[in-house]
Amino acid sequence: MQNVGKTYANGTVALHAINVEIGAGEFVYVVGPSGAGKSTFIKLMYREEKASLGEIFINGFHVHQLQEKDIPFLRRGIGVVFQDFKLLPRLTVFENVAFALEVIETDPQEIKSKVMEVLELVGLANKARNLPSQLSGGEQQRVAVARALVNRPSLVIADEPTGNLDPDTSDDIMNLFAEINQNGTTVVMATHNKEIVNSMKNRVIAFEGGHIVRDELKGEYGYAY
């Protein structure tokens, strides 16, 4: 991001002239108090929101200049994991993960092999026929991670992925993200979980009032929050 700013229609300035570069294979925590600009920063990456000024480049895409019809091509290289899972309740675990491939018209045989491969990775191959309502919160988040990974993205963005989970389950999910990262996938994660940030030392970008106030390799959550 180069001099990126975001002002919403109501006049709220969410980001002020942000400059940041995240390299391939990095694991980055995005931290800061509520309203600091973390979620806006995350949403700009996959064009859920459009920057008001500045330039954003991701995986060779000039994000700010993308036309609406080209946004799906950007998103094919990005997996997104949300705090509230966003699973489709009437679809099975297999179908929820497969949906990410169906929308880009992947061959049905390829879908089957890719989905089972990623469910194996997250430890849910035996739950492929279950509905989300038949899973624990941690299992539902694993499905969400599987869905984000099934298209083998180079970048995974996670917005408070452990926010609704107990500490032990949070640790399991974080170990899964660490494994993904060790396999070469870039991970950018917005989180309020101080314990995880401080125990799993990675790069920390801290936001406050729409500004980056700290950017440290192997950083900590910080005392201000």
Host domain of residue 92: 2-216
Residue 181 belongs to a domain: yes
Helix (H) or strand (E) segment spanning residue 182: helix 167-182
Residue 223 belongs to a domain: no
Query: How much is the pLDDT for 225?
Result: 44
Across the beta sheet with 186-190, the strand order is: 78-82, 155-159, 186-190, 27-31, 203-208, 211-216
Residue 225 belongs to a domain: no
Number of domains in the chain: 1
Q: What is the 3-state secondary structure (H, E, C) of 86-122?
A: CCCCCCCHHHHHHHHHHCCCCCHHHHHHHHHHHHHHC
Q: Provide the whole-model pTM.
A: 0.91
Single-letter amino acid, residue 153: P
DSSP state of 184: T
Residue 151 belongs to a domain: yes
Ramachandran assignment for 145, one of left (phi > 0), alpha (psi -120 to 50 degrees), beta (any other):
alpha
Residue 186 belongs to a domain: yes
Residue 64 belongs to a domain: yes
CATH of the domain at 57: 3.40.50.300
Q: Count of alpha carbons within 13 Å of 171, Cβ hemisphere only?
A: 4
Query: How much is the pLDDT for 223?
Result: 57
Residue 204 belongs to a domain: yes
Per-residue pLDDT of the chain (225 residues; tens, 9 = 90+): 999 999 999 999 999 999 999 999 999 999 999 999 999 999 999 999 999 999 999 999 999 899 999 998 999 999 999 888 889 999 999 999 999 899 888 899 999 999 999 999 999 999 999 999 999 999 999 999 999 999 899 999 999 998 888 888 889 999 999 999 999 999 999 999 999 999 999 999 999 999 999 999 999 998 544
Residue 222 belongs to a domain: no
Residue where the block lists tokens 């973390």: 38
